[in-house]
Structure formats: C-alpha cells, structure tokens
Amino acid sequence: MFTLGVDFGTNSVRALVVRCSDGAEFGSRVVDYPSGAQGVLLDPKDGLLARQHPGDYLFGLEESITGALAEAGRKPDFDPSKVLGIGLDSTGSSPIPVDAQNRPLALSDRWRANLDAQCWLWKDHTGWREAARITELCAKLRPQYIAKCGGVYSSEWFWAKLWHCLNVAPETFNSAFSWVELADWAPSVLAGVADPRLVKRGVCAAGHKALYSDDWAGLPDTEFLAALDSRLADLRSRLYEKAYDATEPAGSLCSDWATRLGLAAGIPIAIGEFDVHYGAIGCGVREGTLVKVIGTSTCDCAVVSVEKPIADIPGICGIVKGAILPGFFGIEAGQSAVGDIFKWWVEVVLGGDAALHAELTAQAAKQRPGQAGLLALDWNNGNRTILVDQRLTGLLLGQDLYTTRADIYRALIEATAFGARAIIERIQEYGVSTDRVVCTGGIAEKNPLLMQIYADVTGCVMQVAGSSQTCALGSAIAAAVLAGAHPDFAAAEAAMTSLRPESYQPVAENRAVYDELYALYRELHDSFGGLTKSADLSHVMKSLLDIKYAQRA
C-alpha cells in the first residue's frame, strides 16, 4: 500500500509516492511555479515584499501528483488503487485572501494582477511595523499570547500580514471574506471545501503563527483584536474556532479531484502542517532530536512530551501542543536566510551560477578556520531566532585588500553556522535536550564543507536524512498513520524513515578556533541586535587579525 506526500515549497511543488511498509519512494515529480521570479512575485520598489499566485498552487498540485503517479506506474508493484491517502504541507505563514466560496481573490480577473490579493508568502516582511505593534499590545494586554512564541511577534506571521493588508490595501482586505493558510487551503482544495469557515485548520499554523491556543479558547479574543483594529475583530468569526493535530483528517478526496488525479474518491487527506514540521517527521524526529531543514532559510524543530513541563523560551518561533507530533509540544526556531545568503553572494553580486558555487566551495574547503580573518552576521533577511527582528541586516567584518571571493563565501557559511549554534544554545538553556542533529535539504546533501563547518561550530554530530524529500515524506507518513497503515507515528517513523551512512564529527582543533570566533560573533550579535546597549567592539578587528595570523602560521 502507498500514500502520497505533496510539499509546496518556495519555488516549486513536489509530490512523492511512498510505500507504507518501508518508506520506499516509487515516484516523484517537482513542478516549478510558473509566475514571477522563480515562483515569487516581487516589487522592485519594496524589497520586503514577497507574494505568490494561488493559481500556481493548483497547477503544481495536479502536475506534480499526476507526474509522480505516472513514474510510480512504471514499476510493477504499483497501482493507483493502492494509494491509501494524501498528506500536504507548505511554507508558512503564507495566508491567502479568499472569497465566501473558498476561492482565492487572485483567481478572479479583477484581482489577478494585484499583489495584495495574492498569497502573502512566508518571507514577506512588509508588516514589520504591525508586528512590532502586536508585540507591544500583547505585552500590555495579553502577555500569555506571545509567551509561547518567544516573546516577540514576527512580520513573517499571520496577523502582521493581515493587518498590513488592511492598512495599505483596505479595498483588498474588505473584499476578502476570509484568509486561509496555504497549509490548510491546499488540503481543502482536494477535499472540495467551498466555504472557508469549513476548512479544517491545522494547529501547526494556528499555534505558531496566529496566536492560537486551546488555553485561551482558540484565536485571540475580539477585545484584543479590536485593540489592533475593529475590522480584524470582525474577521475573527469568519476564520475558525478550532484547530487540529495530525490525528485528525483535513477531509477526504472529493470526486472531482479523484477523477483528475486517477485516485479513489474518499481516501483521507491528512491535516495540513508546515513543510518543516512534516519534514521533521520525515527525518524521524523524537525527543532529543533537533531537525534542521536547510534551504533558502532554515527551520529547526524539536519535540517534548506533553507529559513533561516545558518553559517558555524567549526568541523562538513557538511552543505548540501537537504542532509536529500528536502528544508532543512542537518547538520551532530558525534563520531567515541561509541558502539565500550564498545565492546572493554568488549569483547576485558575482553574477555566477552553480559552477561558481562549486568553485568557491572547493577553494573555501582548502582554508583553515579563521584563516581569512573574516567574520559575518547572517542577517541578510533579518533575524528569525533569537532576536526576532526583520530590520536587522547583514555585516561583513575584517576584509582587506587581499580578501578573495572564496574568503567571503566561507565567512558567510560560518556566519550561518554561528546562527545555528545560537539557536541550539538557546533551547538547551531552557531545558530542551539535544543528543543528535538530523539535517535535511539540498544543501545538507550536497555541501560537505558546510556540514563539517556546522559540526565544528556547534560541537554536534551532524547526520543527514535518508530521503531527499523529507517534507513530502513526512506528509506521506501522516497520511499512512491516518489511513491505518501504521498504528502510530512512532511505528511509522521507524518503518518509513532512514539516515544516510555518512555523518560529520566535530574536529577538536577546528572547534577550538571556532569557539574564539563564536565569542566575537556573539559580541556583534548582541550589540547590533540590541541586547547589549554599551558594548565596546574596538577589539574585534584586532582579535580577528590575531586569529588570522595564528592560523596562517
């Protein structure tokens, strides 16, 4: 028996046909979004804006699933009638304005070209002012709301985006009957749901991005929302009252989509989760495991049993019951840019391509830690964790007239590793144990230099997930549990996930140097991040020189 996993990423959608007994991948298809710049709609006047056309999701959904099924169909053991269920995941927070029939505004002729009527992609930061105001009002009126999401509300999240739309495009906001996260909307499409109030929402998106909790009866109360804007309070009744974990289905496959896909009508559709949360399941997450999904940005996920007390952790993206695995608190953190930083340097600044990435990686691999005398901050797209400030920017320190392209490339990799270490130390500080780190994503699979630097900087053994499509695999696992192919998630993970044989062990000599560099990084991090108001940074350049010449000697 088989299940399907569908993963809506930043630039493409991918579908995966998975055998339930062992996780074997029988068919896959990746479909690029046709609109915008690599699927992203941008505004040259506003670098914080990032939207996507919902029509691309419908196109990619059908093309990816039929393509994956066609590939699987070329294998003798497969038949579409053996597909038991479907799971879907997406980026987030990526809310879509919809009409009363659950149809995105952007699919109508009136709104097709309007950027504000599109899906507001996860990396849209235009609502930073609104996010700051939400943080301020939560601290004053409802401190419990933001205590579970690190104490600071982010411009990447649901309410900041909706409020910004209301402020800058009130006609668009008023024309939307409701807003639905992509992670919830995609399953509702397959289920044929024609009323946004009937869309079954996942607690993953609701809890991490929309201030939802059963502890206060769901979404923020109307009194609080009215303190933001009365029209947000009016919207609340057109959103949802209850959100669900992965023990609940989002619905069942409707006859229309069953015919289009060649699958049996009525098979269950798993509740929607964010890509990295189902990706954590695809990596075999358990207590003590930190999963790092390394892509354009990174997301770090961990779980703690609901039977154990857990402290609020400042600066993270949330602690939500049932957000990843049922019966566990899901913990999310991450970095707003990782692969995007390397892409910026190689492709935007240097005008290169994949060949130049490979060339600079090979040159950087010949260097010793600290040899170039450089230190960078990984904030080219703001800081997601632990500062939660999207108005922070990148920094490169220590360059001289002999600094090379490869020197800077390595310094940028090291900066993202330092950011990863800051996250690990933060969750450990608040009692979340980390006895292994499992990484996934194209960078983790293809860049041994980065993985070794991460091991040396963090002091953790870095393992790599067996699947190249862990997000889609995790979605397929959720469908397998829901369909009864496995009794629970622990059994499903044991049967359907794996690790690659290679792992990356910290090198003691490198780690010692990186400890020195990380101490300097934290001085810059805490000073420019506003944690230290009167720091003396006058020694940092000279300390970098001392490390540089010691390593060259």
Residue ranges with strand state E in 123-166: none
pLDDT in the model for residue 5? 98
Instruction: Tell me the per-residue pLDDT of 496-506, one tens digit each, with 9 for 90 and over.
Output: 999 999 899 99
pLDDT in the model for residue 478? 98
Q: 386: cis peptide before it, omega within 30°?
A: yes
Q: With bands split at pLDDT 50, 70 and 90, how would you rate the model's confidence at 352?
A: very high
Please give the average per-residue pLDDT across 200-229, as a whole number.
Answer: 96
Lowest-confidence range among 142-156, 454-468, 495-509, 513-527?
142-156
Summary mean pLDDT of the chain: 96
Which domains are delineated in the chain?
A: 2-271 (3.30.420.40)
CA distance 91 to 85: 21
The pTM for the full model equals: 0.91
pLDDT in the model for residue 167? 98
Taking 90 as the threshold, does the pLDDT of residue 148 lie above it?
A: no
Instruction: Tell me the per-residue pLDDT of 334-348, one tens digit each, with 9 for 90 and over.
Output: 999 999 999 999 999
Q: With bands split at pLDDT 50, 70 and 90, how would you rate the model's confidence at 421?
A: very high
Please give the average per-residue pLDDT across 324-342, as a whole number.
Answer: 94
Question: How far is CA 357 from each of CA 139, 216, 296, 321, 364, rounded to the nearest angstrom?
Answer: 44, 49, 15, 40, 10
Q: What percent of the chain is modeled with pLDDT above 70?
A: 100
Taking 90 as the threshold, does the pLDDT of residue 388 lie above it?
A: no
Please give the average per-residue pLDDT across 364-369, as a whole number.
Answer: 97
Question: How far is CA 490 from each of CA 87, 225, 284, 424, 495, rounded to the nearest angstrom?
Answer: 17, 39, 8, 24, 9
Q: With bands split at pLDDT 50, 70 and 90, how would you rate the model's confidence at 390?
A: confident
Instruction: Tell me the per-residue pLDDT of 167-210, one tens digit each, with 9 for 90 and over.
Output: 999 999 999 999 999 999 999 999 999 999 999 999 999 999 99
Give burial (CB, 10 Å; 0-12/13-18/19+) of 551: middle
Q: What is the DSSP letter of 383?
A: B
pLDDT in the model for residue 533? 85
Tokens of 215: 């502890």
Instruction: Tell me the per-residue pLDDT of 111-127, one tens digit each, with 9 for 90 and over.
Output: 999 999 999 999 999 99
Contact status, residue 337 vs residue 48, Cβ threshold 8 Å: no
Taking 90 as the threshold, does the pLDDT of residue 259 lie above it?
A: yes
pLDDT in the model for residue 442? 87
Q: With bands split at pLDDT 50, 70 and 90, how would you rate the model's confidence at 301?
A: very high
Question: How far is CA 134 from each of CA 28, 61, 158, rounded to the nearest angstrom?
Answer: 41, 34, 11
pLDDT in the model for residue 414? 98
CA distance 466 to 153: 34
Token pair 């993970």 is at which residue?
493
Instruction: Tell me the per-residue pLDDT of 24-63, one tens digit each, with 9 for 90 and over.
Output: 999 999 999 999 999 999 999 999 999 999 999 999 999 9
